[in-house]
Structures are given as C-alpha cells and as structure tokens.
Structure 1
Amino acid sequence: MWRNIASNFLTLAIVLLIAAAAAVAWAKREFSGPGPSAVAQCVQIAPGASLNAVSNRLAEQGAISNAYIFRAGADAMGKARELKFGSFLVEPGASMESIVDTVTAGGPSTCGTEVVVRVGVRANTILLRDMNPDTGAYEEMARFDPATDDAPPAIAAAQDLSDVRLSMVMAEGVTSWQVVEALRAAGFLTGEIDDVPPEGSLAPDTYQLSKGGDRNQILAQMAARQEIILAEEWEARPFGLPYETPEEALIMASIVEKETGVAGERPQVASVFVNRLRQGMRLQTDPTVIYGVTNGQGILDRGLRRSELDAETPYNTYRIDGLPPTPIANPGRAAINAALNPDDTDYLYFVADGTGGHTFSRTLEEHNAAVARWREIEAQRGLPTDSPVQTGG
C-alpha cells in the first residue's frame, strides 16, 4: 500500500512540476510577447506610486494582460523598485517587458497633458501638448502669445487639471526681462517679482514647474544653475584670455550668443572678438548697440539708425573700447564655453554670407569683398542695402 501511495505521490509531483514549468514558460511568453493593446496609451506614474498600483492601472487600461505577471517580471528584471515619475507613451502591442523598461528608464515625459511656457528671443508663448488619440503621437494642440492674446479655452482648462505637467523652456539668448515677463504671464504661478535679475545671470534650460510655484524661487533656481555653469567653465579655461573676471567672460558669451544662430560658429565668432580685444580694436558689434536701445525689453524690429550707431552710450561698441558694462542676454553653456575656448584664428572681421552663417576675414580688404557680396545678396532679396554690417563694417 505504501508503495502505491509513494508511486502516486511521485506521479503527482512530476505532474505538478510539469504544470509549474509550463506555467512559468507561459508567463515568460506573456511577459515578453506582444501586449493586448491595439492603440498607443499614455501611462502616468505619480510620485511615490507603487508597482502594485501601476500594474493594476495598466491592466485596467488594457495595456497588459496580467498585473501579477507584470509585477513578477519587473521583480525578476531587478526593476521593481525603479519606477520613475512621469507620463510615458506605450506603443501599440508593447510587451510587458518593454513597458517595464519604459517606466523605469526615466527621462522626459513623452505623453500626457503638458502646458509649456516658452521664453523665445522674439516672443514668449504658452502652448498645450498632449497625445493625439487618433495618431498616438505627442502633438501641440494649442498655443498663444500671452503679451497679445487671451488663453484659449483648451489651455485654460488644462491648467486646472490635477495631473497636468507644467514646464518652462528658456531659449539661449533671451534677456532677463523676457524671462520675468514669461513668469508673470504664467497665471498658475504665485509671487510678485520686484526686480529683474541681472542680465546674463539666468541659465537657459528646461525647468519643471508646479501649480502655485513661487516665481522668485524659479528665478533663484535659474540663477544658481548659471552660477554653477560659469564657475565650471571658468575653472577649465586656458591661460592667456583677455578676461580678468568670470563676469567679463559672461559678457563676451552673451555677445557670441547674439551674433550667430549657428552652433558650430560660436568658437570662430569668439575668436574674432578675442583677437580684437588683444589688438586694442573696438568690437563694433550691432547686438550691443541694439541692447543699448531696447534695454533688453523686447526686440528691435528694424535696422539700426545712423544716429544710434553714432550715439555715445555704454553699449555702443562702435564708440567705446573693450566690453560693454554688462551681458546683453542670457547665454547658454555652449556660448560660455566658446567665449572661454575660442578657436585659434587670426580672424578680425565677419559678415553674413546669405546662408544663415558668416564669412570670416583676416584683413579689411577681404572683409570689404565679403561685405560687397553680402550687399549683392541683400539687393537680390529686396533688402535695404544701407544697414550696418557686422564686426568691422
């Protein structure tokens, strides 16, 4: 009898082992195979969310077939405790394994309702981004200029959502006044800004905002980031540059930032101005004159007048020696790096070449020929040909 019992028990154990192995194999296929969702979905992970809550939410959305298998697989991958806060786009048919990778990798959110305050050189814009349910793509849904327009209903409604993401994108080369105006236009923020921060002191970057956040704290964060960047770049500078202080390097970086929109040209532009400082030549750069006219409050939608080029002001580098007294914009790290690591050239002049970039010259003769070519391009395009030219004109 005991022999029969033992034999039956052994048989049952083998059957159970086979069943367990089959179940494990099935679970692995479920975890790594195509998921059940036929459409793209937005997975939102709240700060401090548990894996259990996230897996149940995914199952309810139909993004995964089994919450338990999702949790077990995440644990097996060693990622059960690595959930990252944000909103993440899950492609149609995504496997549970790929979803685990997505929600634990971190990085910028790729879906969900987002209101972005963009500080641009020409204008500030507030825009709404969200996932288009028809295409599954993350798209811009609405935008407006807070200086001239009222918020569209879609943006006004989005700002009141409990799970909306809020951010500010500050472009390189904007002025501190433009940043302050953008913060004041963001109605979901709080706090009165009494004074515009010193020019150049704010770091262009993307900043995460929160509903009810204090505007002055955001400015403090921008200033702290710029201080770190400038200190790091100043510490790593080579010897022999014509700057006595980090502030002077920041002034030069702001000029470089405003003189070219071509990233690869920054070190060349910086070399022209560094060479001029070393030789005691005036910088003769239009952006500094423009700053003296506008005081950084908006843009100058016209060419400089001869009277403005002839005026004796602290920012008229056609009239003063050396650098202007302050930066003329908030430069990014790349411009700061270029100012402190200029190319080794003997260029003293540059002028627009018609492609968005510039022609660099070593002598006044070369420069005058380049200016003549630019005047021809201006005439062909119907542009005024009596406007000032850049550096050395």
Structure 2
Amino acid sequence: MATLSYSEALLRRPGPLAAEKVVNLSRTSGFRDIGDQLEREGVVDNAWAFVAGVMLRQARQDLKAGEYLFPRGASLNDVIGIIVTGKSVLHQITVPEGLTSEQTVARLLENDVLTGPIREIPREGSLLPETYRFNRGITREQIVQRMAADQRRVVAEIWAKRAPNLPLHSPEDLVTLASIVEKETGKPAERARVAAVFLNRLSRRMKLQSDPTIIYGLVGGKGALGRPIYRSDIERPTAYNTYVIDGLPPGPIANPGRAALEAAANPADTRDLYFVADGTGGHAFAETLEEHNRNVARWREIERQQNGQAAPPAAAPAPTQRPTLPPRSRN
C-alpha cells in the first residue's frame, strides 16, 4: 500500500518543463521509445519513470501518436493522460474569399505542415474559402476534399433559401454570380446591393459589364492582370468578358465565400443598375445613367485630386453604361 501511494505521488509530482512545449510522437514509436523522446525533449525527468507510469496506469495500448502540447510543469500523470486522450495540436490555414482555384492550390502548397501533392487544380468555384483546422499529417488533398464538400453543402443550403423570382436557373449560376460579387467589393455591407445591380441587369437583359470578368478572360486562374485594364481589353472578345457576352459568363471567376453566396441568393431590394467607386473604398450606386454619370464625374474629380492634376478645361465625355469598379478590381 505504501509502495502504491509512493508511485502515485511520483506520477503527480510536477515535471521539469519550464514552459509549454509541443512534441510530435511518431506512429512507429513504441512506449519505451516515447519515453526516451520525452526525456530528450525535457518533458519528463526519466524515460523509465514514464515507462513505469504507463505500466502502472495500464495505458500501454492506449498511447496514441500525434503532436501534443505539454504544459509547463506537466506531471507524469498529465503527460500520460494527454497522450492517451489523443488530442493533438490543431494547426490552421486560412483561404481568403475571392482566390481562384489555382491561387488556392498555391496557398496550400506553401503550407509546410500539410503533406502530399494535389493531383489537379479543382474546378473554379468548387472550393469554400474558410479557416480550416487540422492535425499534422493531414494531406493537402484531404483539405481540398474538405473544402469541396463544404462548398457543396453551403451552396445547397443557400440555394434552398434563395429569394423568389431570381434570374438564376441553377446553383451553378448562383456560384458564378457570387464570384463576380466577391471580386467587385470588399465591403460586407455592399455585397447584397452589388448583387442586386447585376441581378437587375440580368432581368433587363443588359450586359453585366464587370471588370473582373475581363481579367479572368485574359489570365484565367492566375487571378491578377498586373496592370490597368485597357480599352482594348474591354473590347476584346473572350468567353468571360461580360462587356462582350450576354448574361453570366460560362462559370465562376473565383471561389466565393459564404457571404457573397448569400448576397447573390438574397440581394438588396433596389432598382440600382450602376455603381462606381466613391473614394472611401466603397461605391456610389445609381438607378439611372444620368445619376451614374454624376457619380462618375465625382469619382474622376477625386482621382484627379489624388493624383495632383489640374482640373480639365472642359467637361469630359459621358462615360459608358458600365458599373465602373474600384481600382483594386483592376489588378
């Protein structure tokens, strides 16, 4: 009885760690090897004490491989308990909204905790941007599969709760429109109104005239044009250029997030047909071309002042009927 009490006291005595520490325990390690590693890492004073503690707790078959965080002063009892529970350290990777699938794959490949290759670039718009948590050893392909499964689930949920009478014929149309909304504005409060502009134009059979679709038509999944959009770009026919084609492009131009999908499915109740940058990072919206022209003139004056240019000697020609976008959408 005295021996048992002494053993329990040893198990509960504070260990040598002066600060918390993460240790990765291999799947191929036996419990004696684990003890040796924990001693080398300074988690326990003595490997044999760990082995004896495991035997005393009859936990030999319950030890699990993984990456574990051991707190400062963790006792043998604490250390064994952490390994038995199998609650490994969780890492995370954040994939921002609006990246193309090619850009998303590049981000996953940059992460040195994930393992393995990615077989192929997923279909555009098929991944849900989000923060994903994972244990060390998870493959990049598994993260891609999780992103795709989450996207299918979220799109199905949002499509089922969409507003009535939208000029969208399928969940695929929803994702395509949401991808355009995602690239048009970074302001959460504007998403539903930007979506309304494009849905109103679709209903009126007006061309969408969205700058990000020009860029995607030129560079595809690379995402960035690297220069301003030229007049020749606006007039250049591509399958995605909504200055040239009617209706939606043939597919998404990025991976939209949940908020953009919800905005496309439940747009603001407005008759707006135009928008232009307002100089604050947001947009000025308009129902008529006349009102839009005034907003464009104000934006041009803001640009002129920002660039330190003198006022033009005469009024500029009327702008085209496109929903002019902020500079960030042009590169």
Larger relative contact order (C-alpha < 8 A, sep ≥ 6)? 2
How far did 1:291 drift? 1.3
Taking the TM superposition and a 5 Å limit, the aligned residue runs for 1:105-120 are 105-106=87-88, 108-109=90-91
The TM-score normalised by the length of structure 2 is 0.66
Superposed CA offset, 1:283-317 (max 9, x none): 22110111122233452111111122234444232
Is 2:183 the counterpart of 1:258?
yes
Q: Which residue of 2 aligns with 1:325?
A: 250
Query: How big is the alpha-carbon RMSD for the aligned residues of Structure 1 and Structure 2?
Result: 4.9
1:109 match: secondary structure: strand
Superposed CA offset, 1:133-174 (max 9, x none): xxxxxxxxxxxxxxxxxxxxxxxxxxxxxxxxxxx8654323
Q: Which residue of 2 aligns with 1:392?
A: 323
Is 2:22 the counterpart of 1:42?
yes
Partner Cα distance (1:306, 1:275) in 2:
25
Per mean C-alpha deviation after superposition, the further-off stretch among 90-99 and 287-296 is: 90-99
Is 2:214 the counterpart of 1:285?
no
Taking the TM superposition and a 5 Å limit, the aligned residue runs for 1:54-65 are 57-64=37-44
Partner Cα distance (2:152, 2:44) in 1:
46
Q: Which residue of 2 aligns with 1:303?
A: 228
How far did 1:322 drift? 2.2
Q: Which residue of 1 aligns with 2:327?
A: none
CA, structure 1 residues 104+366, in 2 after alignment: closer, same or farther (shift >3 Å)?
farther
CA, structure 1 residues 71+354, in 2 after alignment: closer, same or farther (shift >3 Å)?
farther
Partner Cα distance (2:40, 2:76) in 1:
14
Q: Which residue of 1 aligns with 2:282?
A: 358
Contact 2:201/2:208, CA 8 A, preserved across alignment = yes
CA, structure 1 residues 251+29, in 2 after alignment: closer, same or farther (shift >3 Å)?
same
CA, structure 1 residues 90+263, in 2 after alignment: closer, same or farther (shift >3 Å)?
farther
Contact 1:286/1:390, CA 8 A, preserved across alignment = no
Contact 1:251/1:324, CA 8 A, preserved across alignment = yes
Partner Cα distance (1:72, 1:344) in 2:
68
Partner Cα distance (1:184, 1:94) in 2:
35
Q: Which residue of 1 aligns with 2:50?
A: 67
Q: Name the aligned partner's letter for residue 216 of structure 2.
A: Y
Identity of aligned residues (%): 40
2:303 match: secondary structure: helix
Contact 1:283/1:322, CA 8 A, preserved across alignment = yes
CA, structure 1 residues 351+49, in 2 after alignment: closer, same or farther (shift >3 Å)?
farther
Partner Cα distance (1:88, 1:267) in 2:
44
Q: Which residue of 1 aligns with 2:328?
A: none
Unmatched segments (≥5 aa) in structure 1: 1-15, 111-167
1:258 match: secondary structure: helix
1:322 match: secondary structure: coil
Q: Name the aligned partner's letter for residue 305 of structure 1.
A: Y
How far did 1:41 drift? 2.2
Partner Cα distance (2:108, 2:5) in 1:
60
CA, structure 1 residues 88+345, in 2 after alignment: closer, same or farther (shift >3 Å)?
farther
CA, structure 1 residues 39+324, in 2 after alignment: closer, same or farther (shift >3 Å)?
same
CA, structure 1 residues 295+72, in 2 after alignment: closer, same or farther (shift >3 Å)?
same
Superposed CA offset, 1:170-193 (max 9, x none): 54323234456778999x856875
CA, structure 1 residues 391+192, in 2 after alignment: closer, same or farther (shift >3 Å)?
same
Partner Cα distance (1:75, 1:353) in 2:
69
